Chain A
Amino acid sequence: MMSQSLSRDTAARTLQYAAGPVLLVAAWWVAYATGAVNSDLLPSPFLTIADTVKNIQSGRLGVDFGATLMRVGYSILIAVAAGVPAGIALGANASVYRSVEFLIDFFRSTPATALFPLFLLLFGLGDPAKIAVAAFAAWLVLVFNVAYGVLNARQTRILAARSMGASSLRVFRDVTFFETLPQTFVGLRTAVSIALVVIIVAEMFIGASDGLGHRIIDAQISYNLTDMYGSIVATGVMGYGLNLLLLLVEKSVIHWSGR
């Protein structure tokens, strides 16, 4: 009986999750079939799905997916390697942080895409420019969040460690670092979604020969609508997947969060 109600719960949950996508495809199909949206702009959902499956099977969608994922991955790696230490250093010293707070806020508010021309001058047309812009935008978010986390770390635990005679370095490594982890993950998730946006746009407009951004704009130019829609959904899958992955990692690393 217990397992029966359990499986009924699972079935109900699955139905709930599936309802959204099913409704979307249904609405899409109605819009397409009734001609409510010009069929020159909206292909049949089933054709789109079929075409996307074909593109996946041929491996071509996977190549572009992989290229974009690589670029996002590199930019995040750079942002983390440079941003976490910088954020810790800034957050450790409130007066230093205040003196650069305006700069960080300013550049955080500047659309990263406005920096493309500058980074093209610095890095040329290839991958390094794309990765550098994305890394820079992600870096700013990380620095801000890590510094904020360090500045606002709960004082009691730091005091406790200090009362045991721990050196400043030790307090930092054993306490402040862990106290900052939740905020670091908040920053990381934001950084990943920003990096994805920047990379996709960069692939569209600055000389890429692969990547989902390139694929979307290519499909649009050659008027391959099913490919265009399929590739857009693929970027969504990537963004959603990365976020989910980070949430799972966060949950297992910061097991104490909110407890």
Chain B
Amino acid sequence: MHAPRQGVAGADVVSPRSSGRTRLITIRGLDKTFGGSTIYKDFSLDLPQGRFISIFGPNGCGKSTLINMISGLAPMDAGEVLYDGQTIQETRISYVFQNYREALFPWLRAIDNIHYPLKVMGVPAAERRARVDNLLAEFEVKIDLNAYPYTLSGGQQQTVSILRALVTSPEVLFLDEPFSALDYEMTLFMREQLQKIFMKTRTTMLLVSHDLEEAIQLADKVLLLTRRPTRVAEIVDVDLAWPRTAAVTTSERFTGLKRHCLDVFWRQVKGE
């Protein structure tokens, strides 16, 4: 039931991946209005899969709206989104919400929260346990998972959220400002954790961030958006080495990238 869908493709389908080309997320002709105000009008974009992509832009420009629509969480007025040629429904997608407090199920223990997506998929209990155990071992989780989420710290709760999102081995993972409710120390720690996860799994990640430093540190590409109606201002390549240690984030190259992104951002905000 949870078999990777692209793995069962018939002989007539030659996956672009097998031909060595970059797999793409293609967004075409996306429209979205909220009560008369246009957020997106004929928005099109290609993004590479298997990469870490950060989304950065002015407040209220529609970053959340964009990832909600392309993750299938919210409807679009018009347009098409394909992951490597497959629809949203045919793609294994996970989503990490900003507000972990309101996204975890407080009536379930942390461990049962992590089990839940597999339960929904109909994975048998024994296999579920095995997969969760693997995941926990892989990421060396040191949280008391028999606790209820509300007894855990904010960082631990968001870690549980991320584990819950990862347990299905998603092809694409969306994160909407996942660390913005955490204190600074925890935020730094969680950025490191997320990096580790990405380097291990190479899962396509789409991260919305309101922190430019974070957006650049974690990403292969930073998608800079304009004010509404929203367009792509620029897609900035972050050609820095992984892992993005403190040495990397204090390098001249990093500060240069940051200055460039900030320039683009201010130009957009001032509407030049």
Contact = CB atoms under 8 A, between A and B. Distances in A.
Interface residues of A, number: 19
Contact of A163 (B73, B99, B104, B105): B73
Contacts of B73: 159, 162-163
Contact of A178 (B95, B105, B148): B105
A178 B106 CA distance: 9
A109 B213 CA distance: 58
Contacts of B103: 156-157, 160
Interface in A147-200: 154, 156-157, 159-166, 170, 174-175, 178
Contacts of B148: 255-256, 259
A157 B105 contact: yes
A118 B39 CA distance: 58
Nearest to A181: B107
B43 interface: no
Most chain B CB within 10 A, of A164, A165, A174, A256, is at A164
Interface string B87-106: 00000011101010011111
Interface stretch (B25-33, B114-122, B178-186, B263-271): B114-122
Contacts of B104: 157
Contact of A164 (B107, B120, B151): B120
Contacts of B95: 160, 163
Contacts of B102: 154, 156-157
B93 A163 contact: yes
B168 interface: yes
A164 B113 CA distance: 12
A170 B105 CA distance: 14
21 contacts: A156-B97, A157-B105, A159-B73, A159-B97, A160-B95, A162-B73, A163-B72, A163-B73, A163-B94, A164-B94, A164-B116, A164-B117, A164-B120, A164-B168, A165-B120, A174-B105, A175-B105, A256-B106, A256-B148, A259-B148, A259-B150
User: Closest 9 interchain pairs by CB?
Assistant: A256-B106, A259-B150, A156-B102, A164-B117, A163-B95, A178-B107, A166-B120, A160-B103, A164-B120
Interface of A: 154, 156-157, 159-166, 170, 174-175, 178, 254-256, 259
Given A160-B103, A174-B116, 17 more contacts: A156-B99, A157-B102, A157-B105, A159-B73, A162-B73, A164-B121, A164-B168, A165-B120, A165-B121, A166-B120, A170-B120, A175-B105, A178-B105, A254-B107, A256-B107, A256-B150, A259-B150
